[in-house]
Structure 1
Amino acid sequence: MIQSLSHATIYVNDQDAAKEFYVNKLGFEVRTDVTMEGFRWLTVGPKDQKDLEIVLMEPSPGMLDADTVAQIKALIAKGALGAGVFHTPDCRATYAELKARGVEFMTEPTERPYGIEATFKDDSGNWFSLTQPRQG
């Protein structure tokens, strides 16, 4: 029986730039940063959620064929691959803090049926929802 999700992959244009974004702008911590068998295994995660690692993967030949790498890079450029939902206890305060750190928001905090949500992009164009779940 499956018990939990430990890793999720996000494709990025540049692992160093992604590391900078997720650590310095979102406040995540680096969990792993090693080179293995010709590719870099870079993971980050929220400081208070030790059981989840986000793999920041740069598509590269050797891992994938050249056509697939080109297709993934084209989708990254369009912002078509990213999606995720981060929870926060105070969406408006977190929005203000992240915006001050230079995070590019696509929407401001907005009341939704499920809570308060704002959306933002990382430096590769991956987009995420920042949500404050509705209480009760």
Structure 2
Amino acid sequence: MVEAVKQIMLYVNDQQATADFWVEKLGFTIVANEKNGGFHFIEMKPNPASETSIVLHNKEMIAKMSPEMNVGTPSLMFSVADVSAEHQRLKEAGVKVGELTQMPFGTVFNFCDNEENYFAVSSK
């Protein structure tokens, strides 16, 4: 039986630029930056105590190694205590953000990273 989500893999064109985006704009922490031969991954968390991490892999390399894999960006939704404040903070940090939208489950907005991959944020 599955007990938790350990890692979310993001396949990106520029691992370091994307890691810099998540660290500088969203406050993530790098927990591993491993290079082993031609294989390189960067693992990061929204906070060090988080059980789930995001791992950045080189999209082109993964597509060559495993052509059957879907290297598209998954649809992820993050939660924050104050969605309006986070929307404003990201906007002021120069992140491209969508409008605050009221949904049946709460207020949400989307944002995109440095590679134009879109993600969502909602209130807890």
Say whether the fold is shared (TM-score over 0.5). yes
User: Unaligned regions of 5+ residues in structure 2, if any?
Assistant: none
Normalised to the residue count of structure 2, the TM-score between the two structures is: 0.87
Give % identity. 28
Preserved contact between residue 15 and residue 57 of structure 1 (Cα < 8 Å): yes
Please say if 1:118 is aligned against 2:109.
Answer: yes
User: Unaligned regions of 5+ residues in structure 1, if any?
Assistant: 76-80
Equivalent position SS for 1:57: strand
Preserved contact between residue 41 and residue 58 of structure 2 (Cα < 8 Å): no
Equivalent position SS for 1:108: coil
- Counterpart of 2:46 in structure 1 is 46
Residue-by-residue CA offset, 1:49-105 (whole Å, 9 max, x unaligned):
4211101111234x442894xx95xx6xxxxx2420000111110011111111111
* Structure 1 ranges of 4+ moved more than 2 A: 63-68
The letter for the 1-side match of 2:117 is N
Q: Could you say what the CA RMSD is over the residues aligned between the two structures, in angstroms?
A: 2.2
Preserved contact between residue 7 and residue 52 of structure 1 (Cα < 8 Å): yes
Count of aligned residue pairs for this structure pair:
123
Q: 5 Å matches for 1:5-24?
A: 5-24=5-24
Preserved contact between residue 86 and residue 130 of structure 1 (Cα < 8 Å): yes
51-60 or 14-23: bigger deviation:
51-60
Preserved contact between residue 14 and residue 58 of structure 2 (Cα < 8 Å): yes
The letter for the 2-side match of 1:98 is L
The letter for the 1-side match of 2:78 is F
